[in-house]
Amino acid sequence: MIKLFKVKEKQRELAESANGKPPVKKQSAGELRLHKDISELNLPKTCSISFPNGKDDLMNFEVTIRPDDGYYLAGTFIFSFQISPIYPHEAPKVKCKTKVYHPNIDLEGNVCLNILREDWKPVLNINTIIYGLYHLFTEPNHEDPLNHDAAAVLRDNPKMFESNVRRAMAGGYVGQTFFPRCI
């Protein structure tokens, strides 16, 4: 039995090599959608995106958030994004690379944001996630915490929470945990 797809693929490869150009790598549906999302980004002035592995690796990038309001004013927080080839049918994997005292971000950098978990829908995009992350810094949520200690302090004593955030951002200890400077 002749394998027509293999024959067609071989003919295409021969045609591409004959014109002197290397074969073009096909983009996955996830890469195409991500390219569209990135080209349509409308970030607040306090957020930026970078590609540490170069522009050829769109599936892994970093977002820097510098809140201009709230408890985290003047801090710099870096998030890594890993995008699946089946994006947007699977939410991106987002981690905070900056150690932060925050009720919705644990000390390992895991982020508690509903649109990254149960509320993810393919209609959402990278811009929506970045705005969601930014919102975590302007309105931390003690009702759905990953860092239960920080959430309890925010709920019970907001002045103490603000003091702890300032101490952590300046580079110091909060309880037994050391936080490197992020301002």
Tens of pLDDT, residue by residue over 101-134, are 999 999 999 999 999 999 999 999 999 999 999 9
The predicted model scores a pTM of 0.85
Selected catalytic residue, list 47, 96, 112, 182:
112
Q: Is 112 a catalytic residue?
A: yes
Cα 80–56–133 angle (5° rounding)?
25
Tens of pLDDT, residue by residue over 144-175, are 899 999 999 999 999 999 999 999 999 999 99
The domain spans of the chain are 26-174
The reply to whether CATH 1.20.120.1200 applies to domain 26-174 is: no
Percent of the chain with pLDDT over 90: 80
Per-residue CA distances from 58 to 26, 35, 38, 53, 176 (Å): 14, 7, 9, 8, 38
